[in-house]
Structure 1
Amino acid sequence: MPAPGLAARGPRSLLRQIREAMAADVPAQDRLNRVVRIIAASMVAEVCSLYLRRASGQMELFATEGLNPDAVHRTRLDPGEGLVGEVVRAAEPVALSDAPAHPNFSYRPETGEDPYHAFLGVPLLRGGRVVGVLVVQNRAERTYEADEVDDLQTIAMVLSEMVLGGQIDDQSLGDVEVAPHRPERARGQRFADGLAFGHAVFHEPPVQAGRLLADDPVEEEIRLKSALARMKAHLDNLLEGHGLGGVPYEVLETYRMFADDRGWNRSLEEAVRSGLSAEAAVERVRNEHRARFAATRDPYLKERLHDFEDLADRVLRSLAGEIEQARELPEDAVLVARNLGPADLLEYPRGRLKGLLLEEGSAAGHAAIVAKALQIPCVGRLTGVRDRLSEGDLVIVDGESGEAFLRPRPDMLEAVTARMAVRAQQSAEFASQRDIPAVTTDGQRIALLTNAGLEVDLESLETTGAEGIGLFRTEFQFMVAEELPRLEAQTTLYRRVLDAAGPRPVTFRTLDVGGDKVLPYLDAGREENPALGRRAIRLGLDRPGLLRLQLRALLAAAGGRELRVMFPLIASVEEFRLARDLVDIEVDWARRRGKPLPAILRVGAMIEAPSLLWHLDALLPLTDFVSVGTNDLFQYMFAADRTNPLVSDRYDPLSPPALRALHAIQKACSETGTPVSVCGEMAGRPLEAFALITLGFTRLSAPPSGIGPVRRMVLSCDLSAARRALPNVLASTAGTVRSEIESLARKLNVVL
């Protein structure tokens, strides 16, 4: 005989009874008492008890059927105490046939639960947090069936929304923890630099489709086409109204083109013609796209899926007449979202939007690119952050460390306010020093260049006083395109970059894709370990037509000027020879056709693969220059993914192995007269940059935000004195020498 579960007795009937009990015009306690009686009867249980979580973390007995009623509001279990504590800890059901035999059983004599053996407890969840526990008990030792567990979970879900969703007034609940209230620290990833604080505002949830079937298919098709037209016109207005240029504009323009995608529009029209309402048609096409892209690990395709998801929501809002509604924000808003479409940020008042927190996304994703362009601090990959916040909570966005502080304490808020004031003061100081050459106190000139990849980054040449672009990442143009950029498009971009730089040098890194940067129009195939697979120069050599097209565009753009080309992730001397041969082939092709050539052509390699450390004697004579990519070099040296928070702290760039590797590179370049620069993140952090120039590097290419701090450090540094202390640092057997280098800098009065 099957166990008497909710399904067997009619779920709608029981849930209706619970709703009616909660809606009754009687005191809150009477309503809860009635609910536990209904549940006990339905579950054929001799006991049903409801525990709710107090702000102290204790679980308080709020209502019971079967236990001593005098224990209500008297019995409080400490965090983790008893079987109720087990349910809270696991956030999952706990079912036992003999509860008193469990080691965590907590005996409370005032409850009178001595006769009861069987125990089933399920959590009440709200926003992903356990806010209460619903328990049923029986005298006989018995095993609760899976259906009964499912039944009680369904009841708990409904009950949590009713009890904590507003059907019981706050006064009756007292200090029950309806929403998170304690300070929390959330670790994520830095998507856009900066510091901000303000009050949390949730990005609007997706619009749900209403009716499914159309009464008049022709009318529904007209509604759909009208909604699409309004949505597209709205996007056009957004594009024209914000003055964005370069890649941020291209991202938005590509997103706008998705709205005209013939396949997507045709699918919507066919769905409506099949008899669905316009809203249901949008949902059907959305689900088809989800199914198509669900299994992909390709981050670009996932970004594209999100773009289509966002477009679907926009069409639904347009159908509901909401497309033109302005989004209101408080004066100091921090937007919190699972992810954002590229146009979403433009719809919020720029002056009120102080920061952005995302549960998903990537630093190279569309939302991050637009946030950088708008100079909005952004932290992403904050799993579950929406569940840990309530609208209006105070939030700190730390785009420097990649963290968010939820409901911060007053002292934390004061500290961040002070940091923001220091940043403002430093920005003014850096601006005043931007035209001062970076020369140490003992006369050593350090060349400070900037890294770039977006046209908006070119503005930093003027604002930071950078002496050129030490690394221009060419792959962004490929990543935002729907198809391989043609020769003319590539040539136009590279020419604009050179024009913006003027007489200052620009080093172009050839296409660095593969790994986590996969282009949808290149069938690269799936690899078990893409980070160690066919990426960067390996892909270029396997697809020589792709690399030659880019080299042809670079040569054409440079015509009459200096051109510096650098190949990424060279792992062997032979790879560099093959890549340089392709340059020679393209130079010969242009010369035979009478096309203008660069006045000076320099070809270099990035040192990112540890294998080159033992073959520099063969590589360096073949190159015109090299650049050390410390980001990849160290993650491959230490076999630890720098973007994975689980292992990224397993090594320190200021450790003896890392510094000895850098010293070996610098020494080899000095002996062969090969110009060398450092273009990893190390170059943009004052302490790490101090170590680099002490090792002998005199060309640093940093993110724009790092140039001012590094210039200030250089201007305060006695380099000769620092170099005299270097041998002792390199000889250390410690895991890191960060503190030793910092002590040395402070001893020499270096400003960090």
Structure 2
Amino acid sequence: MRETAAGPRILLRRLREMMAEALEPQERLDRIVREIAQNMVAEVCSLYILRADSFLELYATEGLNPGSVHLAQLRLGQGLVGTIAASARALNLSDAQKHPAFAYLPETGEEIYHSFLGVPVLRAGRTLGVLVVQNRTKRHYRDDEVEALETVAMVIAEMIATGDLARLTRPGMELDLRRSVSMEGLSFNEGVGLGHVVLHEPRIVVTNLFNEDSDQEMERLEVALSSLRLSIDDMLSRRDVAFEGEHRAVLEAYRMFANDRGWVRRLEEAVRNGLTAEAAVEKVQSDMRARMLHMTDPYLRERMSDFDDLANRLLRQLMGRGPDALAEVLPKDAILVARNMGAAELLDYPRQKLRGLVLEDAAPTSHIVIVARAIGLPTVGQVKGAVSLSENGDAIIVDGEEGQVHLRPQADIEAAYSEKVRFRARRQQLYRELRDRPPVSKDGVAVELLMNAGLAVDLPQLAQSGAAGIGLFRTELQFMVASTFPRVEAQERLYREVIDAADGKPVTFRTIDIGGDKVLPYFKGAQQEENPALGWRAIRLTLDRPGLLRTQVRALLKASGGRELKLMLPMVTEISEITRARDIIDREVRHLSRFAHHLPTSLKLGAMVEVPSLLWQLDELMSAVDFVSVGSNDLFQFVMATDRGNTRIADRFDPLCAPFLRLLRQIAQAGKEADKPVTLCGELAGRPISAMALLGIGYRAISMAPASVGPVKAMLCELPLEALSERMEIALAKNAATTDIRAELRQFASEHDIPI
């Protein structure tokens, strides 16, 4: 073979000329393998492409029996070619037949060849095929020859991805790129969505692959890398990447990738071999992803998303594209697929066109998940590999009930889910018919069904759901979707809009609950904490920064002029916090009175029971407030020492266990004895079976996502509540270690034909 570096550049130039010619797909492939063989002085060059049935089919060859094209095939993992495809790693052998994986295909006539070089055809880390050169003499191929073949493989990968080879496939022999994939994740919001993929950060398609001037491309690469490093330093200083609480070690790993000399060296080498700077980034990114996906260390594999993000940022720098991810033309049934995204970014998309959301990362308490629930979007998270496996426009199904995603689903799966969607639509019609029916149990007990909200987009759902009011308005969502602290005027406008939309129905505003997992990137006062859920957050933060609370209270008082204001304090730990907050509120009332502002007709102050310490202060609590709301999500987290954002243990403990239900019953009884209203806000309220448990232990007001009001009301209308209460008393009196409350509830529902 040639001993100069000119070979790869000449080969790429010839490929560029061939790509520009109007050729049939098979003719193009035949000429490509012929050109590779000639350029590399190889006696054989063969291209195998991976089919959806996990077989590698010979698509083109120079040197082997031409009659074996489209007939010779190897299973994934079989032979040298199958081994390369399965491992996504090149094989460079001086005597291929002595390798333990060697498999002889008699139809090809390759038994006389000894030296073997095979590289995977990769795109976004996925193996689409294998490209091979062979010679009769025994020798190892040089590193620059391996690099040249890998570069050619990248060009072929783009041919496969664009669908050029689809006409060469036989019926039932579709390429792997189009195969159906089912992925497991976690259900973040219920519902089923059928539609087509819209990548939140669309994969940048590099169309200009070959450079005209290597020195100029090298300069472009250096400028883009410098700009990338500066942007990362700025991002880290602003803690944008720490948005969801990653440890500092992860942030430093992110920076390390951007400054890694090995990465830069591979980029420079690809440019010297004739690729443009952006094509070099795409090639090295795909190679790196394939290698990291086969690492056994799960931590290193997870860091791949950091590397992907860096490579995509670098591509955008090189191609002069801004970070705006909103698709210009969105399909009417768009399902967003993203590694992660901000809450504000989701709201940029037109809601009427969205059918679902798939996230590779995120936790159930992430900002994006909170907003997705608020707008009723079926959401599945922790779906590893979703972005790299998807292409814009792919058919996709999101099953938010089972936590499953079906990409390019087969016809029978799509038909089954279409029926499921029709069934859900019929149920939704039933819920709409129940909308104006009073929420009263079968034996005449009235229950207040309220909804949770936090954004202006939630407000139309108050009338649509038939909720009796807003039991929890999360005021922090306005802060989370803003780029700076909302001014008092902006807050006042939103709060007045909420009260006007409620049209006389009660609204309970929770004061700003930031900190912990709700970090505002523009808030400079927060610091990295070892245990953010137990740290400087909610009422603790606003009492230490009283200006925040004063501004919000002033906006709420002005917006509520002439009407009732219900104000609730989050994460109260001791009664003194309520006293201090009331002093701030009273001061604002006096200030507005002095300037003759129109004030609320009444002001009721409440507190959320989320911290276990309040369980030993219930009498004092009931005396200090006008009402109480139980935040079941955080309370369960703290009582059971279970981090809801930790996917390993988030589902380990059942909130419908006897100990936790006894605790919730204690709070409801304390409210009844003190004649103070008690509402439960949290995920427990939004599922018919858990809502049934809450009603059975004494709750008569529960607040939930708007979409849950219908199913819960359907359950309530068929529920003999007094009989359930008696059953719950007996169940909770039993040994907690042997009592399955969930099973008891299901049995009761079955006995009384209650829809759960």
Q: Cα gap change, 1:449/1:411 in structure 2, threshold over 3 Å: closer, same or farther?
A: same
Q: Cα gap change, 1:735/1:147 in structure 2, threshold over 3 Å: closer, same or farther?
A: farther
Q: Secondary structure at the match of 2:746?
A: helix
Counterpart pick for 1:160 among 157, 160, 173: 157
- 2:667 maps to which residue? 665
How does 1:239-258 map onto structure 2 within 5 Å? none
State the TM-score, normalizing by the size of structure 1: 0.73
Gaps of at least 5 residues in structure 1 are 211-280
Query: How far 1:523 moved relative to its partner?
Result: 0.7
1:738 and 2:742 correspond: yes
Query: How far 1:418 moved relative to its partner?
Result: 3.2
- 1:267 maps to which residue? none
- 1:441 maps to which residue? 442
Q: Cα gap change, 1:720/1:375 in structure 2, threshold over 3 Å: closer, same or farther?
A: closer
Q: In 2, distance between residues paired with 1:118 and 1:616? A: 80
Q: In 2, distance between residues paired with 1:29 and 1:607? A: 69
How does 1:136-285 map onto structure 2 within 5 Å? 136=133, 147-162=144-159, 165=162, 170-171=167-168, 177-178=174-175, 180-186=177-183, 195-198=192-195
Query: How far 1:717 moved relative to its partner?
Result: 0.6
- 2:296 maps to which residue? none
Query: How far 1:538 moved relative to its partner?
Result: 2.2
Q: In 2, distance between residues paired with 1:152 and 1:689? A: 62
How does 1:642-721 map onto structure 2 within 5 Å? 642=644, 647-721=649-723
- 1:509 maps to which residue? 510
- 1:60 maps to which residue? 57
Q: In 1, distance between residues paired with 2:381 and 2:99? A: 42
Q: Secondary structure at the match of 2:11?
A: helix
Q: Cα gap change, 1:388/1:195 in structure 2, threshold over 3 Å: closer, same or farther?
A: same
Query: How far 1:317 moved relative to its partner?
Result: 10
Q: Cα gap change, 1:604/1:150 in structure 2, threshold over 3 Å: closer, same or farther?
A: farther
Q: Cα gap change, 1:636/1:177 in structure 2, threshold over 3 Å: closer, same or farther?
A: farther
How does 1:516-535 map onto structure 2 within 5 Å? 516-529=517-530, 530-535=532-537
Deviations along 1:493-514, one digit per CA (max 9) or x if unpaired, are 3233333334432211000122
- 1:499 maps to which residue? 500
- 2:487 maps to which residue? 486
Contact preservation (8 Å) 1:449, 1:467? yes
Contact preservation (8 Å) 2:731, 2:739? no
1:627 and 2:629 correspond: yes
Contact preservation (8 Å) 1:449, 1:700? yes
- Please say which of residues 78-87 and 197-206 is displaced more in the overlay: 197-206
Query: How far 1:708 moved relative to its partner?
Result: 1.6
Q: In 2, distance between residues paired with 1:552 and 1:468? A: 23
- 2:90 maps to which residue? 93
Contact preservation (8 Å) 2:120, 2:127? yes
Query: How far 1:711 moved relative to its partner?
Result: 1.3
Q: In 2, distance between residues paired with 1:699 and 1:371? A: 24
Q: Cα gap change, 1:414/1:713 in structure 2, threshold over 3 Å: closer, same or farther?
A: same
Query: How far 1:191 moved relative to its partner?
Result: 8.2
Deviations along 1:358-389, one digit per CA (max 9) or x if unpaired, are 66898999999999999876767766546545
1:408 and 2:405 correspond: no
Q: Percent identity?
A: 46
1:552 and 2:494 correspond: no
- Please say which of residues 53-62 and 359-368 is displaced more in the overlay: 359-368
What amino acid does structure 2 have at the position aligned with 1:134?
Answer: L
Query: How far 1:680 moved relative to its partner?
Result: 0.6
- Please say which of residues 531-540 and 161-170 is displaced more in the overlay: 161-170
What amino acid does structure 2 have at the position aligned with 1:152?
Answer: L
Contact preservation (8 Å) 2:671, 2:678? yes
What amino acid does structure 2 have at the position aligned with 1:298?
Answer: D
- Please say which of residues 391-400 and 71-80 is displaced more in the overlay: 391-400
Query: How far 1:492 moved relative to its partner?
Result: 3.6
Query: How far 1:723 moved relative to its partner?
Result: 2.2
Contact preservation (8 Å) 2:33, 2:61? yes
Q: Secondary structure at the match of 2:472?
A: strand
- 1:227 maps to which residue? none
Contact preservation (8 Å) 2:183, 2:405? yes
1:293 and 2:227 correspond: no
What amino acid does structure 2 have at the position aligned with 1:513?
Answer: I
Query: How far 1:398 moved relative to its partner?
Result: 4.2
- 1:452 maps to which residue? 453
Q: Cα gap change, 1:511/1:735 in structure 2, threshold over 3 Å: closer, same or farther?
A: farther
Q: Cα gap change, 1:102/1:672 in structure 2, threshold over 3 Å: closer, same or farther?
A: farther
Deviations along 1:648-684, one digit per CA (max 9) or x if unpaired, are 4333333344434423433444454443211112212
Q: In 2, distance between residues paired with 1:50 and 1:542? A: 67
Aligned pair count reads 666
What amino acid does structure 1 have at the position aligned with 2:235?
Answer: F
Query: How far 1:466 moved relative to its partner?
Result: 2.0
Q: In 1, distance between residues paired with 2:175 and 2:330? A: 26
Q: In 1, distance between residues paired with 2:155 and 2:668? A: 66
Q: Cα gap change, 1:740/1:375 in structure 2, threshold over 3 Å: closer, same or farther?
A: closer
Query: How far 1:443 moved relative to its partner?
Result: 2.7
Gaps of at least 5 residues in structure 2 are 209-222, 245-308
Q: In 1, distance between residues paired with 2:106 and 2:709? A: 68
Q: In 2, distance between residues paired with 1:479 and 1:50? A: 51
1:17 and 2:14 correspond: yes
Q: Cα gap change, 1:537/1:12 in structure 2, threshold over 3 Å: closer, same or farther?
A: same
Q: Secondary structure at the match of 1:724?
A: helix
What amino acid does structure 2 have at the position aligned with 1:557?
Answer: A
Q: In 2, distance between residues paired with 1:637 and 1:440? A: 31
Q: In 2, distance between residues paired with 1:209 and 1:316? A: 14
Q: Cα gap change, 1:651/1:88 in structure 2, threshold over 3 Å: closer, same or farther?
A: farther
Q: In 2, distance between residues paired with 1:390 and 1:508? A: 42
Q: In 2, distance between residues paired with 1:371 and 1:665? A: 30
What amino acid does structure 1 have at the position aligned with 2:467?
Answer: A
Q: In 2, distance between residues paired with 1:185 and 1:163? A: 22
State the TM-score, normalizing by the size of structure 2: 0.73
Query: How far 1:592 moved relative to its partner?
Result: 6.2
Deviations along 1:541-570, one digit per CA (max 9) or x if unpaired, are 221111122223323333454322111122
What amino acid does structure 2 have at the position aligned with 1:11?
Answer: P
What amino acid does structure 1 have at the position aligned with 2:700?
Answer: T
Query: How far 1:19 moved relative to its partner?
Result: 4.8
Q: Cα gap change, 1:70/1:408 in structure 2, threshold over 3 Å: closer, same or farther?
A: closer
What amino acid does structure 2 have at the position aligned with 1:427?
Answer: Q
Contact preservation (8 Å) 1:541, 1:579? yes
What amino acid does structure 2 have at the position aligned with 1:355?
Answer: R
- 2:304 maps to which residue? none
Q: Cα gap change, 1:34/1:686 in structure 2, threshold over 3 Å: closer, same or farther?
A: same
- 1:355 maps to which residue? 355
Query: How far 1:61 moved relative to its partner?
Result: 3.1
What amino acid does structure 1 have at the position aligned with 2:451?
Answer: T
Contact preservation (8 Å) 1:298, 1:518? no
Query: How far 1:735 moved relative to its partner?
Result: 9.6
Query: How far 1:128 moved relative to its partner?
Result: 4.8
Deviations along 1:185-204, one digit per CA (max 9) or x if unpaired, are 34567788754434557788
Q: In 2, distance between residues paired with 1:690 and 1:97? A: 71
Q: In 2, distance between residues paired with 1:88 and 1:586? A: 69
- 1:124 maps to which residue? 121
Q: Secondary structure at the match of 2:514?
A: coil
Q: In 2, distance between residues paired with 1:89 and 1:590? A: 71
Query: How far 1:465 moved relative to its partner?
Result: 2.8
Deviations along 1:142-166, one digit per CA (max 9) or x if unpaired, are 7666544433321210122346646
How does 1:27-66 map onto structure 2 within 5 Å? 32=29, 34-40=31-37, 42-43=39-40, 48-64=45-61
- Please say which of residues 162-171 and 685-694 is displaced more in the overlay: 162-171
Q: In 2, distance between residues paired with 1:23 and 1:569? A: 65
Query: How far 1:290 moved relative to its partner?
Result: 7.2
Contact preservation (8 Å) 1:652, 1:736? no
Q: Secondary structure at the match of 2:5?
A: helix
Q: Secondary structure at the match of 2:485?
A: coil
